[in-house]
């Protein structure tokens, strides 16, 4: 299991939003498929932590991934278009953005929270403790 805890994210006042999403930007999907479980303000969460509102569990994200590079050398290198006339589809391994709706979990935090951390537990079939979830940055988006 890989555990990752974010730096503090600013949380706006509860009265200012109706929906909240966590956006994991630039998620890599070239390795083994994996599942993540996400907790708010619970950096000690681990595999044994109940996935309940009391533990500030926010939900799960699963990524169906490629598993390995199955082609020749260079097959999985993400290349830029070779020219302005390059109409080939984007490379299949370009990282993507994954969204987890956390409206209920965020609303359940005390209104004076002000900021929160996000702890992600990530699991794959190999039991890896690192490199399971790889992504560029995490954003909290709220919508009025």
Partner 1 sequence: MTITARPAPNAAPARLKVRQNIDSLSAQDLSDFRRAVKQAVALNDKRGFEYFASWHGVPFGWCQHHDPLFLPWHRAYLYWLELALQSEVSGVTLPWWDWSKAAAIPAAYSSAQADGAENVLAKAPVNPFNATRKSGWPTETSRAPGEVPQTPGPPYQQEWANAMKATNYTDFSQRIWAIHDTLHVWVGGTFAQLDFAAFDPLFFAHHANVDRAWRIWQAAHPGANPPADILNESLQTDPALKVSQVLDVHQLGYEYAGTQSTVPGSA
Q: Which chain residues interact with partner 1 by CB under 8 A? A: 27, 29, 32-35, 37, 47, 60-68, 70-71, 89, 92, 96-99, 121, 123-125
Q: Which residue number, 47 or 54, has a Cβ lying nearer to partner 1?
A: 47
Q: Tell me the closest approach of the beta carbon of residue 84 to partner 1, in angstroms.
A: 18
Give Dmax over CA atoms of the chain in angstroms: 54
Q: Tell me the closest approach of the beta carbon of residue 7 to partner 1, in angstroms.
A: 25
CA 100/CA 103 separation, integer angstroms: 9
CA 90/CA 86 separation, integer angstroms: 10
Q: Which residue number, 9 or 35, has a Cβ lying nearer to partner 1?
A: 35
SS3 of residue 45 by DSSP: coil
Q: Tell me the closest approach of the beta carbon of residue 68 to partner 1, in angstroms.
A: 7
DSSP H or E run through 35: strand 34-40
């Amino acid at each position: 299991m890989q555990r990752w805890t974010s730096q503090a994210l600013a949380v706006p006042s509860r009265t200012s939003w109706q929906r909240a999403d966590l956006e994991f930007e630039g998620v890599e999907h070239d390795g083994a498929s994996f599942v993540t479980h996400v907790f708010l303000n619970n950096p000690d969460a681990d595999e044994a932590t109940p996935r309940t509102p009391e533990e500030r569990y926010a939900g799960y994200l699963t990524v169906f991934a490629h598993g390995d590079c199955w082609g020749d050398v260079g097959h999985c290198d993400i290349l830029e278009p070779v020219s302005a006339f390059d109409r080939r589809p984007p490379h299949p391994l370009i990282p993507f953005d994954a969204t987890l709706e956390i409206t209920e979990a965020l609303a359940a935090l005390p209104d004076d929270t002000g900021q929160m951390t996000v702890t992600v537990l990530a699991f794959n079939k190999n039991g890896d403790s690192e490199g399971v979830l790889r992504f560029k940055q995490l954003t909290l988006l709220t919508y009025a």
